[in-house]
Amino acid sequence: MTEPLRGDARRRMAVAAVVLALIVLAIVLAVLLREPAESPPQPAAPSTAPGASTSPGPAASGASPSTAQPSPSQPVEPSTEMPEAGQDPVQPPATVPPVPVPPSAPDAGPGPAPDPGPPAAPFPSALLGQDLTAIPNAGRVVALTFDAGANTAGLPKILSTLSAKGVTGTFFLTGNWVEANPGGVGQIVSAGHRVANHSMTHPGFTGMDGTQIARQVRGAEQTILAAGGDPRPLFRFPFGERDARTIAVVNSLGYAAVRWTVDTLGWKGTSGGVTAQAVADRTLAALQPGEIVLMHIGSNPDDGSTLDADALPDIIDRISAAGYGFATLDALLAP
C-alpha cells in the first residue's frame, strides 16, 4: 500500500510542476509580447541610393540617433518646436512659377541731364531788327528816359521830382558813369526806377566790329550788375548811331535797341540857346501814345545848366493834364 501512494504523490507533483512551468512561460510570453508595442519606434537607417556617397556629412558625424532623418516609409510627425526669440519660423521650400516682369525703360544713370531746350527769348521777337522810337500799342502813356554818361549834377532833382509826382522812369547808364558814381545806381534802383544799358564808354558803334560791340555791351552790363542794377534787355546806342548790322549784333547779345520819339535838347544848355520852357514845349509838341522822351542827367559842360532836370516838373504836369500816364520801357517787353 505504501508504494502505490508514493507513485500517486509523484504524479501529482509532476503535474503541478508542469502547470507551474506553463504559468511562468505564459507570464514571460505575455511580457515579451507587450514590450515591442509600448516601446517607441526605432529609426531605420537611411537607405543609400545607387551611386550616392556613403560618407557622413558634417551634420551626420557625431549626431545622436534622435536627430537622424526618418525613413521614407515611416510617417513624419510635424515639429512642435517654437523658433527662438527674434527668429522667424523656417517654412518648407515651395516651388513658385516665375512671374514675368514687364520691361522697364533703361536707367539713364548719372549721365548729363536732358537738354531743356533753347532758353526763353529775353524780349519779344517783334523787337528784333528795330531801334524803337515809340512803345507799340501802348495807349495813352509816355516813357520818360534819362541818359547818364557825364556827371550826376541833375540826378538829385530828377529823382526828387519823379518821387513827388509818383512817376517812374528808365535810366540808360554807361559803364564809365557807374564806375564814377557807384552810389547813383543804388539811388535809382531803390527809388523803383528801371536801369538800362548805354555801352561802356559811349563810342560810336557803326565803326566797330562785332567783338568790339560785344565788349562795350558786356562791359557795361557787368558793371551795372555789380553796382546792384540789371540793365537787360534794354540798350540805347550812343549818339543814336546805328545801322542794321549793329542792331543785329546787339540783338544777338540779348538786347532790344531803344531810340526815342523826341530829344528835348536840354543837353545843349543855356549856352546853346535852350531854356527849360523850350525843353517842355518840345516834349509836348511830340506827345503821342507810346512816346519815348530822351533827357540827360548831367550838366552842360560849358555853362553847368541842367535844363532837363529843371523842366521835368512842368513836363510831367502838362503830359498828365493832356490825359496821359507814364510807364517804364518794360512796357516794351509785354507779350
Contact criterion met (CB below 8 Å) for 171 and 191:
no
Contact criterion met (CB below 8 Å) for 299 and 157:
no
In the three-class reduction of DSSP (H, G, I as helix; E, B as strand; rest coil), residue 331 is classed as helix
Contact criterion met (CB below 8 Å) for 308 and 280:
no
Closest by CA position to 238, among listed 151, 150, 300:
150
> Which residues sit opposite 325 in a β-bridge?
141
End-to-end CA distance of the chain: 159
The catalytic position among 147, 263, 308, 310 is: 147
Catalytic residue list contains 107: no
Cα(247)–Cα(34) distance, integer angstroms:
120
The catalytic position among 131, 263, 296, 310 is: 296
Element (H, E) at 234: strand 234-235
The angle formed by the CA atoms of residues 139, 142 and 148, to the nearest 5 degrees, is 150
Per the omega criterion (within 30 degrees of 0), is the bond before 56 cis? no
As given in the structure block, the three cell numbers for residue 12 are 501529482
Cα(16)–Cα(10) distance, integer angstroms:
10
Catalytic residue list contains 198: no
* Residues near 43 by beta carbon (within 8 Å), at least 6 away in sequence: 65, 68, 69, 70, 71, 74
As given in the structure block, the three cell numbers for residue 131 are 531801334
Closest by CA position to 266, among listed 121, 153, 112:
153
Cα(294)–Cα(220) distance, integer angstroms:
20
Residues with catalytic function: 147, 296
